[in-house]
């Protein structure tokens, strides 16, 4: 790997061992162990992630048509992005604009005020250049999304795939995290049948996401699904969840949670069980309540794991595609369409440039969110 060519070797050097070819090979391997260990991973990631990333960036800046035997590439600079952000696809990606309501203004000003306060606080706490640049992205994204939601959701206009994706990520991951941690906490109590619950709660993670999508489509069917009798009985026979944007989003979120709560659950359970018993018991002897013990003793011990597991979950949640694709195909309207699905639809119509552009916008949002979260929450927690 070229990046390590001129690296000073820091591993200890070993004296050359005289001997046969086999030993010399072993010796050579040992001396280059530092490179041998990391090379395969670096090469593979370079080939499979960096090159395609560059290639699809070029695609995002082009109009591409597949033609006989080759592809015709026309370089259009940022037209694809422009179309998504300001042009004919704006409603699709960002949302429909049309006048801010009073509530919209309130939210927008609150967000702006919050950001200004955050900026000032940071500037006074001794900023570094890297820290400032990094935070500029975070602030920009928060401000942008805040204003976007103020102008769409809080002003009574539908938002686009960006808002929907953020709903799945923020709200969905939040719910999954709370329930996952809660279940893990309950299972860490001295109860019978713990291993039964542990196994059962883990099962949904094993099912293929496509299968989960179809299973929940069956669940949610109001004419022939298992809950249709209950549905009729409640007098909701005429209510169609699929026709209501928020009901549809919630159904998809429930399916997603069903699959991913187990992930948070198993990790958090392991973390909770690793908290030394003596701390807890000492506190119990002192007469602390269960809640106090959890809050003051257990929780601080598991926060690093919690932050990491939440981060992993957030990263995966940004990629949500199977559930909305299968359960609603993005409908009603565009209400449940996530950004990956948006890119997938564009790809299906062979509009590779738009598809790559949406994918890149997704990448940008994901990177800024995850890196901000990593730096501002995970690292801080770990350092603390």
Partner 1 sequence: MKIKSLGLGVASALAMSVSAQAQDYSGVTVEILTRPGPVIAQRLVERGEEFTAMTGAEIRVTEVPFSELFQKILTDWATGTNSIDVGVFASGWATELVDGGLVEPLDDYIANDDKINVDDIAPYFREFNQKIGGQTYLITVDGDFQMIYYRQDVLEAAGLEPPKTWEDYLAVAKAVHGQDMNGDGEGDFGSCMFKKRNNQSYFAMGTIAASFVQTKGTNEGIFFNNEDMTPKVNNEAWQEAFRIYKATGEFGPPDELNHDIGDTRGLAMAGRCALVIDWGDIGPLSISEDGAAIKDKMYAAISPGSRRALNVDTGKLEDCNPTLCPNAIDGINYSPFGAFGGWAGAINAKSDDTVKQAAYDFLSYVNQAEQSNVDVTIGWTGYNPYRNSQLESTELWVKAGFSEAAAQNYLGAIKDSLNHPNMASDLKIPGAQQYTGVVLDRELARFLAGEITAEQATANIEEAWEEITEDFGRDSQKTMYNLSLGITN
Partner 2 sequence: MSRTLMQRLFEPTSIRDMAIGTKVIVYSILLFWTAFVLFPIYWVLITSFKTAVDVNSGPVFLPFIDFQPSLHAWKELFVFDYEDTLKAYVNSLIIALSSTAASVLIGSMAAYALARFEYRPKFGVVLTFVLVMIAAFYAVGAYGVDWRLASASGIAVFVFLAIALGRYFKARLSNGDILFWMISQRILAPIVVVVPIYMMFQQVRLLDTHIAIILTYTVINLPIVIWLMYDFFRSIPIDLEESAQLDGATRIGVFWDIVLPLSRTGLAATTLLVMILSWNEYLLALFLSTSRAQTMPILVAAMNAGERGILWWSMSVVIIVMIIPVIVLAIILQRYISKGLLLGAVKG
* Interface with partner 2 in residues 148-207 (CB under 8 A): 183, 186-187, 189-191, 197, 200-207
Question: Can you tell me the distance from the alpha carbon of 229 to that of 26, in angstroms, rounded to the nearest whole number?
Answer: 71
Residue 157 vs 319, nearer CB to partner 2:
319
Q: Is 225 in a helix, a strand, or coil?
A: coil
Residue 281 in contact with partner 2, rule: CB under 8 A: yes
Asked whether 263 and 205 are in contact (CB, 8 A), the reply is: yes
Residue from 101, 363, 373, 377 touching partner 2 (CB under 8 A): that is 363
Map residues 35-54 to x or -, x wherever contact with partner 2 holds by CB under 8 A. Answer: -xxx-xxx-xx-xxxxxxxx
Cβ-in-10-Å burial (0-12, 13-18, 19+) of 384 comes to exposed
Residue 325 vs 336, nearer CB to partner 2:
325
Max CA separation in the chain (angstroms): 87
Map residues 65-104 to x or -, x wherever contact with partner 2 holds by CB under 8 A. Answer: -----x--x-x-----------------------------
Question: Can you tell me the distance from the alpha carbon of 255 to that of 259, in angstroms, rounded to the nearest whole number?
Answer: 7
Q: Minimum distance between the CB of residue 115 and partner 2, rounded to whole angstroms?
A: 24
Instruction: Name residues contacting partner 1, limited to 335-364 (CB under 8 A).
Output: 335, 345-351
CB atoms inside a 10 Å sphere around CB 162: 25
Q: Is 306 left (phi over 0), alpha (psi -120 to 50) or beta?
A: alpha
Residue 284 in contact with partner 2, rule: CB under 8 A: yes
Residue 1 vs 240, nearer CB to partner 1:
240
Q: Is 157 in a helix, a strand, or coil?
A: coil
Instruction: Name residues contacting partner 2, limited to 298-327 (CB under 8 A).
Output: 304-305, 307-309, 312, 315, 318-319, 321-322
Residue from 138, 328, 338, 369 touching partner 1 (CB under 8 A): that is 328
Question: Can you tell me the distance from the alpha carbon of 221 to that of 214, in angstroms, rounded to the nearest whole number?
Answer: 11
Instruction: Name residues contacting partner 2, limited to 237-266 (CB under 8 A).
Output: 258, 262, 266
Residue 117 vs 196, nearer CB to partner 2:
196
Asked whether 187 and 194 are in contact (CB, 8 A), the reply is: yes
Instruction: Name residues contacting partner 1, limited to 206-225 (CB under 8 A).
Output: 221-223
Residue 124 vs 191, nearer CB to partner 2:
191
Residue 71 in contact with partner 1, rule: CB under 8 A: yes
Residue 330 in contact with partner 1, rule: CB under 8 A: yes
Per-residue exposure over 128-153, b if at least 16 CB sit within 10 Å of its own CB, e if not: eeeeeebbeebbebbbebbbbbbbbb
Residue 149 vs 293, nearer CB to partner 2:
293
- Name the binder of 174 from partner 2, partner 1, none, CB < 5-8 A by kind: none
Residue 168 vs 241, nearer CB to partner 1:
241
CA-based R_g, the chain, Å: 26
Residue from 17, 211, 333, 371 touching partner 1 (CB under 8 A): that is 333
Asked whether 255 and 176 are in contact (CB, 8 A), the reply is: no
Beta strands in 37-166 (DSSP E): 62-67, 70-75
Residue 63 in contact with partner 1, rule: CB under 8 A: yes
Residue 66 in contact with partner 1, rule: CB under 8 A: yes
Residue 241 in contact with partner 1, rule: CB under 8 A: yes
- Name the binder of 125 from partner 1, partner 2, none, CB < 5-8 A by kind: none
> How far from the centroid of its chain's Cα atoms is residue 214's Cα?
22
Cβ-in-10-Å burial (0-12, 13-18, 19+) of 159 comes to buried
Q: How do the residues of the chain divide into helix, strand and coil, expressed in percent and rounded to 5?
A: 70, 5, 25
Q: Minimum distance between the CB of residue 76 and partner 1, rounded to whole angstroms?
A: 10
- Name the binder of 148 from partner 2, partner 1, none, CB < 5-8 A by kind: none
- Name the binder of 292 from partner 1, partner 2, none, CB < 5-8 A by kind: none
DSSP bridge pairs for 66? 71
Residue 154 vs 258, nearer CB to partner 2:
258
- Taking the alpha carbons at both ends of the chain, their separation in whole angstroms is 35
Residues found near partner 1 in the complex (CB under 8 A): 63, 65-71, 83, 88, 92, 96, 158, 221-223, 237-243, 245, 328-335, 345-351
């Amino acid at each position: 790997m070229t990046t390590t060519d001129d690296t000073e070797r820091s591993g200890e050097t070993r004296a050359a061992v005289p001997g046969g070819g086999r030993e010399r090979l072993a010796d050579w391997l040992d001396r280059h162990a530092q490179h041998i260990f990391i090379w395969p991973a670096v090469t593979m990631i370079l080939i499979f992630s960096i090159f395609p990333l560059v290639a699809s960036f070029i695609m995002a800046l082009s109009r591409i048509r597949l033609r006989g035997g080759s592809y015709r590439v026309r370089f259009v600079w940022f037209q694809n992005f422009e179309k998504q952000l300001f042009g004919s696809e704006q409603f699709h990606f960002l949302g429909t604009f049309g006048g801010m309501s009073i509530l919209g203004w309130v939210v927008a000003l609150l967000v702006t005020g919050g950001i200004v306060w955050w900026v000032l606080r940071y500037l006074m706490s001794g900023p570094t250049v890297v820290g400032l640049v990094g935070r500029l992205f975070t602030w920009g994204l928060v401000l942008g999304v805040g204003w976007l939601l103020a102008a769409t959701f809080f002003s009574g206009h539908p938002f686009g795939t960006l808002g929907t994706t953020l709903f799945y990520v923020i709200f969905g991951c939040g719910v999954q995290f709370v329930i996952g941690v809660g279940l893990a906490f309950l299972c860490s109590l001295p109860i019978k049948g713990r291993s039964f619950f542990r196994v059962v709660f883990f099962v949904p993670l094993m099912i293929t996401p496509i299968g989960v999508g179809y299973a929940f489509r069956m669940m949610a069917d109001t004419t022939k699904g298992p809950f249709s009798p209950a549905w009729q009985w409640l007098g909701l026979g005429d209510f169609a969840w699929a026709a209501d944007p928020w009901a549809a989003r919630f159904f998809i979120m429930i399916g997603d949670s069903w699959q991913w709560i187990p992930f948070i659950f198993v990790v958090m359970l392991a973390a909770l069980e690793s908290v030394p018993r003596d701390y807890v018991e000492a506190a119990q002897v002192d007469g602390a309540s269960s809640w106090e013990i959890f809050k003051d003793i257990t929780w601080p011990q598991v926060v690093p794991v919690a932050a990491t597991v939440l981060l992993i979950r957030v990263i995966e949640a940004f990629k949500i595609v199977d559930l909305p694709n299968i359960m609603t195909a993005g409908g009603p309207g565009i209400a449940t369409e996530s950004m990956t699905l948006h890119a997938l639809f564009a790809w299906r119509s062979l509009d590779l440039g738009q598809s790559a552009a949406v994918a890149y916008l997704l990448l940008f949002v994901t990177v800024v969110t995850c890196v901000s979260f990593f730096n501002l929450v995970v690292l801080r927690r770990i350092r603390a």
